[in-house]
Amino acid sequence: MAKKVIVKKGEVLQRSGEMNTKVFHVQSGLLRSYCLDYKGKEHIFMFAPEGWTIADAIPAEQPSDLYIEALEDSEVIILPKDVERENHNTATLLRRLYVLQKRVIMLMSSPAIERYEHFIETYPDVAQRVSQKMIASYLGITPEALSKVKNARRK
């Protein structure tokens, strides 16, 4: 049913277009999920450090929208989605819902610099472990814009 795998930095656990019948629970290390836009540019949807669960929320019958990839060597528990659905407790789902609501609100109503500061405050640990490029991609801007915006802040 559930199995444990060890993945190396850079390994892709799931690709866009593949069937997405799996849920990934991170025991150690760091994963990310991301999509590609029509220009082939990556947009990070979510980071998953130790203790987090990551999956494409699209119904299991449909092919995945997201890639899931290891940003560090990681130990990952892979669960089939149907099992996850039965076991999943409501509190966890409500928490994920809240995180996404916050994300939508930030994307719509805050400029890049505020999204950056909010990210640093909310995920100080992740911010330490990933490149500026990854942070920019999560914030929805380019690395160049992030560099500019940080620079402008310290006047």
In the complex, the residues that contact a second copy under the rule CB under 8 A are 35-38, 41, 43, 45, 56-59, 65, 85-86, 88, 90-91, 93-94, 96-98, 100-105, 107-110, 140
CA-to-CA distance for 1 and 47, rounded, in angstroms?
Answer: 25
Binding partner of residue 96 among DNA, a second copy, none, CB cut-off 5 to 8 Å per kind? a second copy
- Minimum CB separation of residue 27 from a second copy in Å reads 23
- Minimum CB separation of residue 16 from DNA in Å reads 20
From residue 134, give the alpha-carbon distance in Å to each of 7, 17, 147.
19, 22, 12
CB nearer to DNA: pick between 20 and 74? 74
- Minimum CB separation of residue 65 from a second copy in Å reads 7
Beta carbons of 23 and 78 less than 8 angstroms apart: yes
Residue 141: Cβ within 10 Å count: 19
- Minimum CB separation of residue 152 from a second copy in Å reads 17
CB nearer to DNA: pick between 60 and 127? 127
**Site for DNA, rule CB under 7 A:** 39, 41, 111-113, 131-133, 140-151
* Bridge partners of residue 78, in order along the sequence: 3, 24
From residue 86, give the alpha-carbon distance in Å to each of 35, 55, 83, 89.
27, 15, 5, 8
Beta carbons of 71 and 32 less than 8 angstroms apart: yes
